[in-house]
Structure 1
Amino acid sequence: MTTLWNTFLDQRTELLKALWQHLQISLTSLLIAIVIAVPLAIWATHHKSVAEVLLQITSVLQTIPSLALLGLLIPLVGIGSVPAVIALVIYALLPIFQNTYVGIDEIDPSIEEAADAFGMSRMRKLIKVEIPIALPVIISGIRTALVLIVGTATLAALIGAGGLGNFILLGIDQNDTSLILIGAITSALLAIVLSTLIKVLQKAKLRTVIVTVAVIIIGFIGVSGYQAAAQPKENIIIAGKLGSEPDILIHMYKDLIVQDDKNVTVTLKSNFGTTSFLFNALKSKSIDIYPEFSGTVLESLVKKTGNTTNLNAHQTYVKARDDLKSQDDIAYLKPMKYQNTFAVAVKKSFADKYNLKTIGDLRKIEDKINAGMTLEFMNRTDGLKGIKKKYGLDFKVNSMQASLRYEALQRGNINVGDAYSTDSQIKQLNLVMLKDTKHVFPPYQGAPIMTEKFAASHPEVVKSLNKLAGKISDSDMQEMNYKVNVKKESAAKVAKQYLISHGLLRDDK
């Protein structure tokens, strides 16, 4: 409990920000779903055959896995809040539509006949009789939809929409139970509070419900409008991949940019996704900057031109820079010193037992290998595909989230895993990185990546970020990762400490 409380105190500012994002996404989705589902259900009560079709459609939509739905929406509407809201609206339609339809359709026919006998028009009967009677059932459906939305909205963090899911993703990546609990508990409490408020409305009159909804909408518009007006004209969005290392780097980028230009603000999107996801986000201008590695550029982001097998680190960077510029009009700034190359890792006891020193040595124990690797590594030519091809290996592999495969290695659930050479877990768990004698893994030097247009219009940003060129050694980065993952220091704190200690950032204490 002490650790959980300390983590909460340390993260309270970020938690409030994430909570507001989560609330925005959830309530926006709910209001849109109500606007769509309620009128549609009212109309459907007079068209029974169409009502059955609509019920089937909304039921089918709700069965689509959330990750698959988000994946389908990204090519159509990009990333961020928009696809998240669309997905949540789709999931909320069924309970709201179904309850509204049932609530009105099952009104006692004698009451309907009495209303007709008084000469009420269809609209007057709807407002004065049908909706008031059906209101508790309708609100019950809205309440169900809200709980569903709040829980599912945690996945919005996967596509850069923020929210409480950021804490859960970061906790999983860093194997930090406290972060996971903070995200999950806050999400659950939010659902309980909002559900309780809606329950109160079940007993209220229609006018009270309408006024309450109006107040919520006006309040939301007012706060969002104020935020938009208060925000400076220039806001730079920097994103990072999953993990502590990208998080450290983007905090360094932010500190350097803000120090050199007081007229801009920087928004960070940590744990934003995998390589292709960020690259597409950059090209679509959903983000402005993110750190990328030279080997990754050549292997995954540009069309292969010529033989890149025997290039040294500088040659790899230059080719990556030139290919990005010519193929996608992307600028690749000067690289840092360290190389965060892929690796195949095993426990030292396992390496000693079977005398494993190189990746090729795995051939003699293929029948004993039980590997766990990330999906990205498994699907890259500079990853598992290249290893199998160049080393002639073919062994069982389970796909695993990045931090979980380290835990699985430690527990003995797997005996071979992929890794990054600067990961803190290599030191923490005393792992052995097998030598890549066939050079499947190219040199990986990290540097900021941005569009050429952005670089041309932001020379001060380019100048600020180039201060990191040639800085940060392999041991520096591994130590910083260790502080974040093992000592549980914040990435922001670790980044700032490095910059100050190396004279790149003023110490304003």
Structure 2
Amino acid sequence: MRALIQTFAEQKGELGQALLQHIGISVLSLLIAILIAMPLAIWATHHRKVAELLLQVTGVLQTIPSLALLGLLIPLVGIGSVPAVIALVIYALLPIFQSTYVGITEIDPSLEEAADAFGMRRSQKLFRVELPTAMPVIISGIRTGLVLIIGTATLAALIGAGGLGNFILLGINRNDPQLILVGAISSALLAIILSALISVVQRLSIKKMLITLAVLVIGAAGISITRLVMPKTETITIAGKLGAEPDILINMYKDLIEQESPRTKVVLKQNFGETTFLFNALKSNKIDIYPEFTGTVLETLVKKAPTQKTSAHQTYLDAQRLLKQQFQMDYLQPMKYQNTNALVVKKDFAKKNDLKTISDLKNIENQLKGGMTLEFIHRKDGWVGIKKAYELDFPVRSMQASLRYSAIKNGQINVADAYSTDSQIKQLNLTTLKDDQHVFPPYQGAPLMKTSFANKHPQVVKALNRLAGKISESEMQEMNYEVNVQKKSADVVAHQYLVKKGLLKGDGK
């Protein structure tokens, strides 16, 4: 408990910002869902067959996995708050529509007859009889929609929309349960508080409810319009994949760019997700830069890549050329270290079974239980290539990146995929098996951006090229260790390295 309280205290600045982001996304999504679902349900009470169809449609929409929905929305509307709000609105439609429809259609027929006998028009009957009578049921649906929205909104962090999900993702990646609890507890408390506020609103008259709703809608619209008309400073958005290493790299990019161009505002989108999310976001101009690895470019992103294995330098040149030809993107000079894919086992397991290379796994194939990331499992330069080259076929479970390390530590699996600079290799006393069939291509990291962006921002290119040929494998592994194990902040670790190497002015953070 003491550690949890300390984490809350240490993260209070970031927590406040994340909380505001979460509230903004959640409230906006709820308002839009109410404005869509309630009028539609009221109209549907007089069109029963259409109502049945709408209930089925909203029910089907709610069954779409949230990650799949976010992935489908990114190519259409980009990253950030917009796809998150669209997804959350979709999930809230069913409970609000259903409660409104059921609440009105199940009103005592005698009340409806009495209203007709008094000669009430349809609108009068709606606002004086139907809505007041059905309001407890409607409010229960709105409350259910709100809880769904707040819980699902934690996934918005995966697409750069921020919110409390940032703490959960960060905790998973760093194997830090305190950070996970900060995000989860804050999300639960937020749901309880907002649900209580809805109960207060329930006591208002229909007229006051409508006025309150109108004020909230006008306020949200006003904020949006103000943001659009206000003069904007130039903003550069840099995103990174999940994990400590991408977080360190994008913080280095930020420091170098702001040193070269002090008036430029740099926004970081951390723990953004897998390769395809980032690449699609770059193509659709939703981000400006992200660090990518040469082997990943050739194996995953470009078409007609050379099939023969080449040197690290030639791999970079091929990746640079194909990105330019196929996507009009600039791939800057790479860093020194290679963060290659690898298969790892515990050292005592390797010693017991005389394991030095991946080929040696064939001798104990019936003993093997693998745990690997979903991306690695489906890549040609990952498990697909390993199975083919080494003729291996042992059971492999899909796992989130940090969880596979917990699994190998606890003996639930005995083989895992890894990156050569992962701090957990040192922390958990693991052995990296030699890729004697050379399945894994060279992996050097470098900033990736659109050519149009590079031409417009030569100062950014100049700043980021300072990292060319810098950072050794041991240095990167040590920085990852500082973040993952010693719990140092990624921006502090990045800043201190740049200062130490003379790439940044200042005495460190």
Normalising by structure 1, what TM-score? 0.96
> Could you tell me whether the CA contact under 8 Å between 1:308 and 1:316 is conserved in 2?
no
Structure 2 equivalent of residue 484 of structure 1: 483
Secondary structure, counterpart of 2:198 in structure 1:
helix
Instruction: Give the 5 Å matches for 1:68-87.
Output: 68-87=68-87
Q: Give the distance between the partners of 2:422 and 2:263, measured in 1 at CA.
A: 35
Query: What is the CA-CA distance between 1:464 and the residue it aligns to?
Result: 0.7
Query: What is the CA-CA distance between 1:222 and the residue it aligns to?
Result: 4.2
Q: Give the distance between the partners of 1:31 and 1:14, measured in 2 at CA.
A: 26
Could you list the per-position Cα deviations for residues 181-221 of structure 1 after superposition, in whole angstroms to 9, with x for gaps in the alignment? 11111111111110000011122211221232233333434
Could you list the per-position Cα deviations for residues 392-431 of structure 1 after superposition, in whole angstroms to 9, with x for gaps in the alignment? 2121111111101111111111000000000000010110
Query: What is the CA-CA distance between 1:226 and the residue it aligns to?
Result: 5.1
Query: What is the CA-CA distance between 1:233 and the residue it aligns to?
Result: 2.8
Secondary structure, counterpart of 2:273 in structure 1:
coil
Query: What is the CA-CA distance between 1:138 and the residue it aligns to?
Result: 1.4
Letter in 2 for 1:233: T
Secondary structure, counterpart of 1:432 in structure 2:
strand
Secondary structure, counterpart of 1:76 in structure 2:
helix
Q: Give the distance between the partners of 1:256 and 1:7, measured in 2 at CA.
A: 29
Structure 2 equivalent of residue 429 of structure 1: 428
Query: What is the CA-CA distance between 1:224 and the residue it aligns to?
Result: 4.5
> Could you tell me whether the CA contact under 8 Å between 1:140 and 1:199 is conserved in 2?
no
Structure 2 equivalent of residue 262 of structure 1: 262
Instruction: Give the 5 Å matches for 1:26-45.
Output: 26-45=26-45
Q: Give the distance between the partners of 2:265 and 2:136, measured in 1 at CA.
A: 46
Letter in 2 for 1:477: M
Could you list the per-position Cα deviations for residues 465-506 of structure 1 after superposition, in whole angstroms to 9, with x for gaps in the alignment? 111111111111101000100011111111111111111222
Structure 1 equivalent of residue 367 of structure 2: 368
Gaps of 5+ in 1: none
Query: What is the CA-CA distance between 1:127 and the residue it aligns to?
Result: 2.0
The answer to which of 241-250 and 47-56 deviates more is: 47-56
The answer to which of 185-194 and 7-16 deviates more is: 7-16
Change in Cα spacing, 1:302 to 1:127, as seen in structure 2 (3 Å) is same
Change in Cα spacing, 1:430 to 1:258, as seen in structure 2 (3 Å) is same
> Could you tell me whether the CA contact under 8 Å between 1:140 and 1:202 is conserved in 2?
no
Q: Give the distance between the partners of 1:366 and 1:118, measured in 2 at CA.
A: 82
Could you list the per-position Cα deviations for residues 207-261 of structure 1 after superposition, in whole angstroms to 9, with x for gaps in the alignment? 2212322333334344455555667331111000010000000011111111221
Instruction: Give the 5 Å matches for 1:421-500.
Output: 421-500=420-499
Q: Give the distance between the partners of 1:184 and 1:230, measured in 2 at CA.
A: 35
Could you list the per-position Cα deviations for residues 358-387 of structure 1 after superposition, in whole angstroms to 9, with x for gaps in the alignment? 010001010111111111111111111111
Letter in 2 for 1:42: I
Gaps of 5+ in 2: none
Q: Give the distance between the partners of 1:225 and 1:168, measured in 2 at CA.
A: 32
Instruction: Give the 5 Å matches for 1:168-317.
Output: 168-225=168-225, 232-309=232-309, 311-317=310-316
Letter in 1 for 2:20: W
Secondary structure, counterpart of 1:259 in structure 2:
helix
Q: Give the distance between the partners of 1:307 and 1:50, measured in 2 at CA.
A: 55
Q: Give the fraction of aligned pairs with identical amino acids, expressed as a percent.
A: 68
Q: Give the distance between the partners of 1:461 and 1:76, measured in 2 at CA.
A: 28
Letter in 1 for 2:290: Y
Structure 2 equivalent of residue 347 of structure 1: 346
Secondary structure, counterpart of 1:346 in structure 2:
strand
Letter in 2 for 1:6: Q
> Could you tell me whether the CA contact under 8 Å between 2:237 and 2:269 is conserved in 1?
yes
> Could you tell me whether the CA contact under 8 Å between 2:293 and 2:443 is conserved in 1?
yes
Change in Cα spacing, 1:493 to 1:228, as seen in structure 2 (3 Å) is farther
Structure 1 equivalent of residue 54 of structure 2: 54
Q: Give the distance between the partners of 2:22 and 2:405, measured in 1 at CA.
A: 30
Q: Give the distance between the partners of 1:499 and 1:9, measured in 2 at CA.
A: 28
> Could you tell me whether the CA contact under 8 Å between 1:344 and 1:416 is conserved in 2?
yes
Q: Give the distance between the partners of 1:272 and 1:105, measured in 2 at CA.
A: 45
- Across the aligned residues of Structure 1 and Structure 2, the Cα RMSD in angstroms comes to 1.7
Change in Cα spacing, 1:228 to 1:499, as seen in structure 2 (3 Å) is farther
Q: Give the distance between the partners of 1:251 and 1:71, measured in 2 at CA.
A: 25
